[in-house]
Homo-oligomer: A and B are copies of this chain.
Amino acid sequence: MRWEDLGDEPCSVARTIAVIGDRWTMMILRDCFNGSKRFDQFQESLRISRAIVTDRLTLLVQEGVLAKTLYQEKPLRYEYRLTDKGLDLYPILISMFRWGDKYYAGDGGPPLLFRHKTCGHDFHSVLACSVCNGELNPREVEVRAGPGLKPRRAQKK
């Protein structure tokens, strides 16, 4: 399989990875959730080439994860903001924070702390079942074929 074929796999993880499964793309998204909006902010934060930033932003805009809007006319300057589709990536990002905090924080402790404004407490994230609200454990989840299991390419024919 080639990278560009991932989006055609009959699997929602593969399709997600086809869009966000690149290290710099994920790092740009992290910056977006931390409030970055402008090209130079991404580049300064990540210290990578302009070409890589341009390439990843272009894909994210194409896929509707970020919206590109003009904020200055002379010279032309654009902002990149998370769309609703982009904001829906939050569970993936916050679950990465949680895993990194648990296994890589070291003696220094977690680099960032998260407070849930709704309840007023520092929290960590928990993945819950939409029906019973219980915490999800992979051993308690049964997976079966769904209606969309046929490859998308085959469906198009």
Contacts and interface: CB of A to CB of B under 8 A. Distances in A.
Interface of A: 1, 3, 6-7, 10-17, 21-23, 26-27, 30, 33-34, 46-48, 85, 87-119, 121-134, 136-138, 140-150, 152, 155
B46 A11 contact: no
A144 to B, nearest CB: 5
A138 B143 CA distance: 29
A110 B142 contact: no
Contacts of A17: 23, 26-27, 96
Given A15-B100, A23-B3, A138 B95 contact: no
Contact of A12 (B34, B85, B105, B131): B105
Contacts of A133: 126, 128, 133
Contacts of A15: 100, 104
A125 B118 contact: no
Question: DSSP majority for the A interface?
Answer: mixed
Contacts of A107: 155
Given A17-B26, A127-B128, A141-B114, A109 B148 contact: yes
A116 B104 contact: no
B95 A95 contact: yes
B128 A132 contact: no
B124 A125 contact: no
